[in-house]
Amino acid sequence: MKAVHTPFSIVKENSYVPGCTVSQQLLMGPSAAFLAFCLAPQTDISPETYAYPKLLTVLDGAMTVQAGGAAFSLSQGKSLIVPHGVAFGIRTENGAIYTELSTKEDLIMNLDAGNLFVLKDLVPTEAGKIVNRDVVSSPHMKLALMGFGEGTGLTEHSAPGKALVMALEGKAVITYEGTDHLISAGESFVFDKGGRHAVTAQGPFKMALLLLLD
């Protein structure tokens, strides 16, 4: 997990290693994990089956996911939920950087598994309002999407667990422990449990919030 509390880019911090696939733990809880994968061109991950679902989101490049006898082409910004018990493998021709969210607990999903979708398109922005949508949740994990109208925001509060914010569209100021940080689409920010923070949209802004609870 990131130790320095400043905005960072998962894509910029992952460079291709020729002929290799590389994984990095970004957030880890007692029953959930959020990892980044960097697949060099012409590499693959062999099909495997898991007892829990996985949410895959491509941040850069493109890849093909073979799951349950079907092929899904994922390019930048696209996501796919692979149901538990379904063998899936991944192949990329020109390279791909993606994230993987998984939990060993039963999930409540506000989306259908096995369909492609774009996270930022699942929540609108409305002037003067904040729109919230839970995507997946379990007893110790929640992934929510939030759309902020210009000038709206969240007043200072403390994180009840480890958290990761991913800016999906627009810009916002994240105030963490009294220090302001400008975050833009494609960047992320980590909160410690109990970390005091606030969010102020700089124009229409969309973000994903991953929260892991002990």
Contact 141, 106 (CB under 8 A): no
> Is the residue at 204 inside a domain?
yes
Cβ neighbors of 140 (< 8 A, separation 6 or more) are 29, 30, 31, 32, 103, 105, 212, 213, 214
Confidence of residue 4 (pLDDT cuts 50, 70, 90): low
Contact 181, 189 (CB under 8 A): yes
- Identify the domain boundary among 68, 85, 118: 118
Segment 108-134 mean pLDDT: 91
Dump pLDDT digits (tens) for 23-51: 999 999 888 999 999 999 999 999 999 98
- Identify the domain boundary among 118, 144, 179: 118
Dump pLDDT digits (tens) for 91-114: 999 999 999 999 888 878 787 777
Pair of tokens at residue 68: 């349950």
Owning domain of residue 190: 119-212
pLDDT at 177 over 90: yes
Strands 153-158 and 130-138: unpaired
Whole-model pTM?
Answer: 0.93
pLDDT at 2 over 60: no
Cβ neighbors of 125 (< 8 A, separation 6 or more) are 131, 147, 148, 149, 170, 204, 205, 206
- Identify the domain boundary among 98, 118, 138: 118
